[in-house]
Structure 1
Amino acid sequence: MMQMMQMTLMHAKCGSSALRKNGTSNDKAKCLYTFCRHQAVFAPAAPRKAAQ
């Protein structure tokens, strides 16, 4: 069975975890922390390798 994993991203300087989507750039998701208005870019996860 496949289990879902949830991550909570915390901003290092302000400690906020409240963020919203803010578009994409070069196929990477951009997010905006709503508390401090800092913009971050997150790369998509690499696809899993097939079992050998």
Structure 2
Amino acid sequence: MIDLTQERFYGAKSEAIDAVEVAASLELDGFSWQILHVTHGDVTDSYQVLV
């Protein structure tokens, strides 16, 4: 899993990322498709990423 706390992550805007939970993950041709629950401040958003 990528470390979103160390990356520039547009979805969380400029707020610090407090937690990342992998809700689903699937390996696809050398890549990993993930659904992440990202908590920043009082908000938790879900994102799909391909890494």
| TM-score normalised by length of structure 2 | 0.40
Please identify which structure carries the higher strand content.
Answer: 2
Relative contact order higher in (CA < 8 Å, ≥ 6 apart): 2
